[in-house]
Amino acid sequence: MTFSINSHGITGDAVGTAERFQALANVLTRLAMGQLPSQTELLDAPLLTNWRLARRPAVCLIGHCQDHPLLRGPQLITSDLWVHGPDLGWSRTLSRFYRLGEPAIGAEPTCLAASSHPN
């Protein structure tokens, strides 16, 4: 999910998304400490049958980058884009903020398809 932000505010359920991320962070912390999910947690979880691993596209940025702490090269693709504020001059991926310079010729810098996060 990507949130758009401008001087009037942010679109979407940023608080709800933050709460889901916090819940995931709490689970990862518990797992790192050797605590597996409880029987109650698993009994309350939906059952998925006939499942398989899959990939899906996510909104990201691609462009020429300067001053990235890890990546070098004339062009990079960011991780999933979470907050996009082209009018404010920045965007945020899961990993970091990016300052936004001029968009690519012909790019639609503020055109994001509406997306939602299923519960």
Cβ pair 28, 22 in contact under 8 A: no
Tokens of 30: 């518990």
Domain map (residue ranges) of the chain: 3-99
Q: What is the pLDDT of residue 65?
A: 87
Alpha-carbon distance of 114 to 91, in angstroms, equals 17
Task: Read off the pLDDT of residues 62-99 as tens digits, 9 standing for 90 and up.
Answer: 888 888 888 877 888 898 899 999 888 999 998 889 99
Q: How far is CA 107 from CA 63, 102, 103, in A?
A: 11, 10, 6
Alpha-carbon distance of 100 to 91, in angstroms, equals 7
Q: What is the pLDDT of residue 87?
A: 87
Tokens of 16: 């709800």
